Amino acid sequence: MYQADAKGSKLNLARRTRIAGLSIWRDWQLWAMLLPAAIYIIIFCYGPMYGLQLAFRDYDFSKGITGGNWVGLKYFMQYFESPMFWPTMRNTFIISLFSLICGFPIPILLAIVINSIRKQAFKRIVQTTLYLPYFISIVVMVALLQIMLSPTTGLFSNALKAMHLIPQDMNLLGSSSAFVWVYVLSGIWQMAGWNSIIFLAALSAVDRNLYDASQVDGANKWQQVRHIEIPSILPTIIILLIMNMGTILSVGFEKTFLMQNALNKSVSEVISTYVFNVGIMSGQFSFGSAVGLFNTLINFLFLILANQLAKRAANISLV
Amino acid sequence: MSSPNVGSLLHQPNVADKAFHIVVGIIAISAFLIVAYPLFFIIIASFSDPALVSQGKVVLLPKNISWYGYQQIFKNEQIWIGYRNTIIYSVVGTLLNLAVTLPAAYSLSRRAFRPRKVVMTLFVFTMYFSGGMVPTYMLVKSLNLLNTPWIMIVIGAVSVYNLIITRTFFESSIPDELYEAAVLDGCSHFRYFATIVLPLSKAVIAVIMLYYLVGHWNSFFSPLLYLNSDSLQPLQIVLRNILLSNQAMAGASEGASAYAQQLADQIKYGVIIVSTIPVLCAYPFIQKYFEQGVMIGAVKG
C-alpha cells in the first residue's frame, strides 16, 4: 500500500512538473509579453521597497543602501520626537480631510446636474469645459492662482474685496489662514468635473424603466433623484470613498510644494514636502525614508480599515 | 394628495419638475462660468495691453491688442529647449508606455494564463504601497540614471491603473470566439495580439495614450527630483522658473519697474497658453473616448 502510494505521488509529482513545464513552454509568448512590465515593476516598485531598510539603518555612503549599521526604530523615534512631527501630521491631515469633505460631494452633484440637462448641445459644452482643467499642469494651475489671487491686480481677490468677503489688505497667497481654503477650492475647480465622469457613467447605467415606472406613480424629478439615482450610484460612491480614505494622510507633493512660501509654511509643510526637504535636499536619507514609510503605513492602515468597514456595512469591498 | 398648502405645490409633478430644471440650469451655467472664465481671461489677457489688464479693465474682450508677450516668448531660448525636451520625453516615453503596457495587459487578460492572479495581485499591491520618495531616489541614483534623459523616459513605464483599464477592455470587449477561431487556424499569441487584438482596441489605446501623454507633458516631480542640468529640463520646470520663481525673462526688465512688472505678467499669460495648447489640441479628438475609459477603469481590477 505504502509503496503504491509513494509511487502514485511520485508519478503525480512528475506529471505535475511536466504540466507546469508544459504551461511555460505552451505560454512562453504570454510570459514574454509580460516580461517588460514585470521587470519594470520589480525594479522600480519592489526595488524601492527593498530599499526601505534604509529607514532602519544608518546610511553610509561608502557601504551603499543595505550596508549601514542596523539601528532599528531610531529614525522613527527621531521623527516622533521632532518638533516637526505634530505640525506635519496636522497639516497633512487637515488639508486632506478638507479636500475630502468639500471635494467629494461636488462631483456627485455635478454628475446629477449634467445627467439632468435636456439640451444635448448644452450638455456637451458644459461637460467639455468642466473636464478641461484636469489637463492643466500643476505648475500652470498654481500660476493661475497667483494671477487670480494677486493682492494688487488679482481679478478674483479684488472681486472678493469689493464684496467685502475678505479684508482689504489680505494676501490670499501668503496667508496661513487662507492657505487651506485656496488649496482645497482650487483643487475642486480643477478636479470636480473630471471626477464627475465616473458618477455620470454610473448614472447612465440606470435602467430607463425605473424612471418610466416612477413617472406612472407620479414621482417628480426631485423624487427620482432621491429614490432612483442616488441609490443606484451609492455603490460607486462607497467604493470611491474607500479609495479616498486610503489617501487620507497623503497630500499631493507638487501643488503644496509649489504653493509653499515663507508666509504660509506653518500650515503648508506636509509630510511629503517635509520628506523632500529633509530626505532629498538635506540628504538625510535614512530619516527621510523613515518618515515616508511611516506615512505609507498609516495610509495603508486607513485603506484596510475603510475597506473592512464598508464590507461590514454594505457588503462592498475593493478587493 | 396632502392638505392644500404651499408645500403641496412641490408635489405637483409639473411645478416641481420645472423648479428642478431651473435649479439644474443655474448650477450648470454657474459651474460652466466658474471654470471657463479664468481660462478665457488668460487667453484675452495674453494679447491685451498689459497696463489695462493690471488695472482690471480687460474683462470680457481683449483691448489694445499687443503681441509683446508672445514676441518675448518666441525669443526665449530656455522655453524652446524645455519644449524640445518635453516633446522628446513625452513621445518616446509614451511609446515605451504603450509597448510595455499593451502586451502585459494582453497576457494578464488570458484566462488560461495561470500566473495571472498572482501577478495581478503583486502589481495592484504597488498601487497602495510604495517604497516612497527617498528609496526611489536612491535606486535611481544607484542605477546611474540621475541627471540623464533616460530616467524621464523610463520612470513610470507602466501605470498599474492603465494596465487594469487595458486588461479589462481586452477581457470584456474582445470575444473569446475570435481567439478560438484564430488558434484553429494555427495563430500564435503574438500574431493574434498584433493582427486582431490591437486593431480592435483603438478606444482603449486612445485613452491610455492620452493618460500617459498628459502625464509626461505635465510631469514636474520627476525632473525636479532627478534632473539638474539646464539643458535637460522639460517645459514644466522652465515654466516654474518663469511663472513662479519670478525669474525675470530677458526684456521684461526694461523700462520703469511697474510697467516692467506688467510686461512680465503678459509674458506669463502667454507662457501659460503656449505650454498648454498642445495638450488642449489633443483633447477634442480623444474626448469621446474618456467616458468609455473611465467606465472601464471603474470596473474593479
Please write the tens of the pLDDT for every residue from B280-298.
Answer: 777 777 777 766 666 665 5
Is-contact B99 A36, C-beta < 8 A? Answer: yes
pLDDT digits (tens, 9 = 90+) for B129-153: 888 899 999 999 999 999 999 999 9
- Per-residue confidence at B267, pLDDT binned at 50, 70, 90? confident
Q: Which domains does chain A have, with CATH numbers?
A: 2-53 (no CATH), 74-314 (1.10.3720.10)
* Residues B119 and B52 grouped into a single domain: no
Give the whole-angstrom CA distance, residue B149 versus residue B190: 31
Backbone angles phi, psi at A264, to 5 degrees: -110, 10
Give the whole-angstrom CA distance, residue B163 versus residue B168: 8
Is-contact A130 B32, C-beta < 8 A? Answer: yes
pLDDT digits (tens, 9 = 90+) for B164-177: 989 988 988 888 88
Residue A314, pLDDT score? 65
- Per-residue confidence at B2, pLDDT binned at 50, 70, 90? very low
* Residues B156 and B283 grouped into a single domain: yes
Identify which of B34, B124, B268 has the shortest CB distance to residue A147: B268
Closest CA to B298 of A132, A200, A299: A200
Cell of A214: 416612477
Q: Is B260 in the A-facing interface, judged by CB distances under 8 Å? A: no
Q: Is B241 in the A-facing interface, judged by CB distances under 8 Å? A: no
Q: Is B170 in the A-facing interface, judged by CB distances under 8 Å? A: no
The pLDDT of residue B11 is above 70: no
Whole domain around residue B30: which residue ranges? Answer: 3-68
The answer to whether the Cβ–Cβ distance between B134 and A292 falls below 8 Å is: yes
Which CATH number fits the domain that encloses residue B270? 1.10.3720.10
Cell of B46: 495674453
- Please report, rounded to a whole number, the percentage of residues in chain B having pLDDT higher than 90: 43
* Residues B80 and B64 grouped into a single domain: no
Q: Which residues contact A113 (CB under 8 A, 6 or more apart)?
A: B24, B27, B28, B31
Chain B residues within 8 A of A114 when measuring between CB atoms: 28
Give the whole-angstrom CA distance, residue A124 versus residue A115: 11
Cell of A305: 480599515
**Domain stops at, among B46, B68, B90:** B68
How many CB atoms within 10 Å of residue B162? 24
The conformation of residue A12, written as its DSSP 8-state character, comes to H
* Residues B17 and B115 grouped into a single domain: no
User: How many domains, chain B?
Assistant: 2
Give the whole-angstrom CA distance, residue B108 versus residue A41: 14
* Residues B39 and B169 grouped into a single domain: no
Classified as helix, coil or strand, B173 is helix
The conformation of residue A44, written as its DSSP 8-state character, comes to I
How many CB atoms within 10 Å of residue A155? 19
Nearest-by-CA chain B residue for A247: B128
Residue B250, pLDDT score? 41
- Nearest chain A CA: its distance from B227 CA (Å): 13
Identify which of A37, A132, A319 has the shortest CB distance to residue B39: A132
**Domain stops at, among B68, B97, B116:** B68
Is-contact B200 B172, C-beta < 8 A? Answer: no
- Nearest chain A CA: its distance from B102 CA (Å): 9
Residue B83, pLDDT score? 92
- Per-residue confidence at B183, pLDDT binned at 50, 70, 90? confident
Mean pLDDT of all residues in B105-126 = 92
Give the whole-angstrom CA distance, residue A293 versus residue B26: 46
Residue A19, pLDDT score? 59
Nearest-by-CA chain B residue for A258: B244
* Residues B101 and B86 grouped into a single domain: yes
**Domain stops at, among B68, B89, B120:** B68
* ipTM above 0.90 for this complex: no
pLDDT digits (tens, 9 = 90+) for B47-73: 888 888 877 778 788 888 888 888 888
* Residues B28 and B74 grouped into a single domain: no
Our CA angle for A47, A53, A58, nearest 5°, is 130
* Residues B100 and B249 grouped into a single domain: yes
Residue A2, pLDDT score? 46
Q: Which one of B42, B113, B134 makes the best mutation probe of the A interface by having the most chain A beta carbons within 10 Å?
A: B134
Closest CA to B204 of B91, B292, B134, B116: B292
* Residues B60 and B101 grouped into a single domain: no
Residue A89, pLDDT score? 93
Residue whose grid cell is 497630500: A251
pLDDT in tens, chain A (319 residues): 444 444 555 556 556 555 566 567 778 899 999 999 999 999 999 999 999 998 999 888 777 777 788 888 999 999 999 999 999 999 999 999 999 999 999 999 999 999 999 898 999 899 989 988 988 999 999 998 988 888 777 778 878 888 877 777 778 888 888 899 999 999 999 999 988 988 988 888 888 888 888 888 888 888 888 989 999 888 888 888 877 877 777 788 899 999 998 888 899 999 999 999 999 999 899 999 999 999 999 888 888 888 887 777 666 665 5
Residue B1, pLDDT score? 42
Nearest-by-CA chain B residue for A146: B244
Our CA angle for A287, B139, A47, nearest 5°, is 95
Is-contact B270 B263, C-beta < 8 A? Answer: no
* Residues B81 and B58 grouped into a single domain: no
Give the whole-angstrom CA distance, residue A317 versus residue B203: 28
Per the DSSP assignment, residues forming a β-bridge with A57 are A70
* Residues B222 and B98 grouped into a single domain: yes
Chain B residues within 8 A of A120 when measuring between CB atoms: none
* Residues B251 and B217 grouped into a single domain: yes
Residue A146, pLDDT score? 87
pTM (2 decimals)?
0.85
